[in-house]
Structure 1
Amino acid sequence: MKMKLLTAVASAVMLCTLAPVVLAQNVAIVNGKAVPKSRIEALSQQIARSGRPVTPEMEGQIKDEVIAREIFIQEAQKQGYETTEDFKTQMELARQTLLIRELFTNYQKTNPVTDADIKAEYDKFAASNGGKEYKARHILVEKEDQAKAIIAQLKKGGKFEDIAKKASKDPGSGAKGGDLDWAGAGNYVAEFSAAMTGLAKGKMTETPVKTQFGYHIIRLDDIRDAQLPKFEDVKPQITQQLQQQKMGKYQEELRSKAKVE
């Protein structure tokens, strides 16, 4: 009897000794099931990967979330949702999504867009968008006779902005007195661009300019060197654009190599 008592006492002591160790490895024990701390680390990493910093204030919330998930998982398992065909289908789709994401994430890590690539793309943009910018106004009408009548009215002292507001069928610029703001010549159709760039500063077209939109009276208010955004300001957008292009090319290569029957 004495030996049995000593054995029981020893077992109790051992359990008391192990309890802190078990708790140290787990977040909590929910209905007798241990919830490992690794779940907190996994959820924290997921939050960090989404771009949100894991602050000390969030640690308690993450712990509560992990425990809550275990409670809900146990109930879902108890009700048999884990064995349904719909659940198995959703799990397979999730598995595919995660695998594909890992594939593409690893590709981006091993095939990064370099600073040289970004600078080259910016230089190409600058070359094609450099030169001059023009600040022009226009009045757009449907018929040539209307345009000729407006030109005559302007020559007699009519105010361009007022006539544009009343007569122009271009709703965007008409409401602003025909103002087209600053833009490169390449932003306009060829006929409009040729007529505009042929004007001296402050002058308007003497005859109506016909385009696919109708007949224009154009006035050139000012000319300046093209105002390009600074490299550092557009670097993030260029980086993202090049990453998307590189990823698209990689995906296309995988499709072309695959044997699909």
Structure 2
Amino acid sequence: MIANFTRMAVAVAAVIGLQLAHAATVNGVAIPDATIADGLRAAQLPDTPQAREAVKQQLIARELFRQEAAKDKALERRPDVQALIADARNQILTQAWLKDHIKPAPVTDAEVRARYDGIVASLGDKEFKARVIELADDAAASAALSRIKAGEDFGNVAQQLSLAPSKAAGGAMDWISFKVPVQEGKTQNLPLVIAQAIASLPEGAVTPAPVALGDRRYVIKVDAVRPTQIPSFETAAPGIRQALQAQALERATLSLVTGLLSKAKITQ
């Protein structure tokens, strides 16, 4: 009797657990609760009842579409559909193969610390918050500078005239620090003449004349200057590790491609 009761309790618990694990069924096909959780993460939505319901309804609709498509036996035989299936299959296999064969070297704590120390050593006493307008030639640069000198907002001129990607932000750059006097190769990847111009300007000032770099001209303003803010190692380490991991992945990928190219017969 006790054994029968135990078996019954286990069976009931299993059924209840199965029902809880399935958020919905569509013509007998279960949509697990875990799939909804995955959908929330993929969409970067908060785990709220409203968001869960929205994702569930999307999954129900997708399953209905899938079932209807599966009923159309001629669909899979269409050449365009066959080509898409083949392409999807190739992509899945390629990604799986790459995952198995690209093995970047692990990033060590010592490497993260060394990169942090190197960055800190490259910084100057001050850091600058600057804006830059990139222009095509002397005439455009002179026109932009004249508008700024006449009192027009630097950011507005940048948004209207700059050729740089930062135009949408009014030419604003991130805070940057480098040792002064500025030396080539020690400018945090800024062109030397741009770094020199930034370092020479007091807070709030604009370059009196456009700065020439190749065939482009630059008008620069320094919005603010402050003592260099150095984040702690603990704060900076995750970002540094991520950057080093990306570099390791790039090296491993390049090594794999180089090896494949050396064995391949390619005609162009």
Using structure 1 for the length normalisation, give the TM-score.
0.49
User: Over alpha carbons, which structure has the higher Rg?
Assistant: 1
Using structure 2 for the length normalisation, give the TM-score.
0.48
